Amino acid sequence: MPRLEPDVMQDRDRGVQAVETAYAKVNLALHVRGRRPDGYHALESLFAFAQDGDRLEGGLADDGSITLRVDGPFGAQVGDGEDNLVLKAATALRGHLGTRAGAALRLTKNLPVASGIGGGSADAAAALRLLVRLWDVRIEPAPLEKLALEIGSDVPACLASTTRLVRGRGELLADHDLPGLAGRPLLLVNPGVALSTGRVFAGWDGMDRGALAADTVGQLRADGRNDLEAAAIGQAPAIADVLSRLARCEGQVLARMSGSGATCFALFDAQADMRAAARTLRADHPLWWIMETRIRTA
Q: List binding-site positions for ATP.
A: 112-122
Q: CA-CA distance, 289 to 267, in Å (whole number)?
A: 17
- Euclidean distance between the first and final Cα of the chain, in Å? 27
Q: CA-CA distance, 131 to 152, in Å (whole number)?
A: 18
CA distances from 85 to 61, 143, 148, 177 (A): 19, 18, 11, 29
Q: CA-CA distance, 24 to 4, in Å (whole number)?
A: 27
Q: CA-CA distance, 232 to 243, in Å (whole number)?
A: 12
Side by side, the strands of the sheet bearing 185-190 are 252-257, 264-268, 185-190, 289-294
Q: Is 88 a catalytic residue?
A: no
Catalytic residue among 54, 154, 227, 273: 154
Binding residues: 112-122
> For the packed helices 119-134 and 141-151, what is the interaxial angle rounded to 10 degrees?
140
Q: Is 109 a catalytic residue?
A: no
Q: Residue 58 phi/psi, 5° resolution?
A: -155, 145
Helix (H, G, I), strand (E, B) or coil at 17: coil
Residue 206 φ/ψ region, left for φ over 0, alpha for ψ in the -120 to 50 degree band, beta for the rest: left
Q: CA-CA distance, 218 to 8, in Å (whole number)?
A: 41
108, 71 in Cβ contact below 8 A?
A: yes
Catalytic residues: 25, 154
